[in-house]
Structure 1
């Protein structure tokens, strides 16, 4: 499927791998795709994020992602569901961190076997099942919009549509699926990919 990615979409994938490596993770997660999108200044997704005024809220989004990691990746909806059962997630996190240090419940860095070498243009770490679902969702978004290539805007659309922490953080900051879809439909962001084009 990566052969259908535009240059901008490929840059997001490479950026996500860099985000994962910086955090000592062996797999690219959906969160890393979002962080890579937030770092981009070119491409249709970056134009949409500017149009939705995400620049002012970027730091808040990064903090929200970090808070979710601290809760072992639980979304706010998950935490609320557990609260309904009488389980106070924040209290549990505080107790665990008292005994084992800050970030004790975050997914372990470097856990598991090293990724197998990959062939092709992307030789980075493997994608988690959630990140793979986002990539498949990007393909669906491209098809739904009648577009043959998968661009960074389709990755953004897929992140807003895939249930979990990332879509929750995006929605909390005014970047839901309807807002992104509307901005893409109304905007004049062009159909190019910043001149990068597709790799041969």
Structure 2
């Protein structure tokens, strides 16, 4: 599939791996893909991200991801659903952290790196890459550009899509930023992963 990636999309994937290495993560996540996209300049995805104000809200994105990691990677929908049945995730996190230290529930704490030293992609990150192909094909394109990676990140349910939505970047708003207000909004195109 990598042969279908444009030069910019390949740079984004490589940037995600480099980011994972810089932060000491054992695997490449959807979050790393998003940050690598935000670091790209001059692409359609960069234009859409800028139009939605994402680069200007980097500190807010960082804080939202840090909070999600603190919750053990649970989405807001997960914590709301658990709250509906009387489970207070905030209280659980506080108790675990008081016993085991701050960030005790954070994922990716080491020990899973392949013998080669290469960082594997998490199942979620792999799903985003696969879904980017579906989005591209749904738009009639044989090649995967960065814009399809960004759309796939907004379409895959999880923490990254939640954080993006909190910052105004849903599948529909990204689609509008990329293709204009008269675009069909991606209706009927592959968007779930």
State TM-score, norm by structure 2. Answer: 0.88
In structure 2, what is the Cα distance between the partners aligned to 1:124 and 1:4? 22
In structure 2, what is the Cα distance between the partners aligned to 1:145 and 1:128? 26
- Would you say 1:72 and 2:72 are equivalent positions? yes
Contact 2:27–2:108 (CA under 8 A) maintained in structure 1: no
Shift of 1:27: 1.3
- Would you say 1:140 and 2:134 are equivalent positions? yes
Shift of 1:95: 1.4
What does residue 115 of structure 1 align with? 114
Equivalent position to 1:184, from 178, 185, 188:
178
What does residue 98 of structure 1 align with? 98
Contact 1:14–1:124 (CA under 8 A) maintained in structure 2: no
Sort the Cα spacing of 1:56 and 1:91 in 2 relative to 1 into closer, same or farther, 3 A.
same
What value does the CA root-mean-square deviation take over the aligned residues? Answer: 1.6
The size of the alignment, in residue pairs, is: 181
Greater RCO (CA < 8 Å, at least 6 residues apart): 1
In structure 2, what is the Cα distance between the partners aligned to 1:115 and 1:41? 31
CA deviations 1:155-184 (Å, max 9, x no partner) are 000000000110011111110001111111
Shift of 1:115: 2.0
- Unaligned stretches of 5+ residues in structure 2: 182-193
In structure 2, what is the Cα distance between the partners aligned to 1:183 and 1:147? 18
In structure 2, what is the Cα distance between the partners aligned to 1:83 and 1:93? 13
State TM-score, norm by structure 1. Answer: 0.85
User: Deviating runs (4+, > 4 A) in structure 1?
Assistant: none
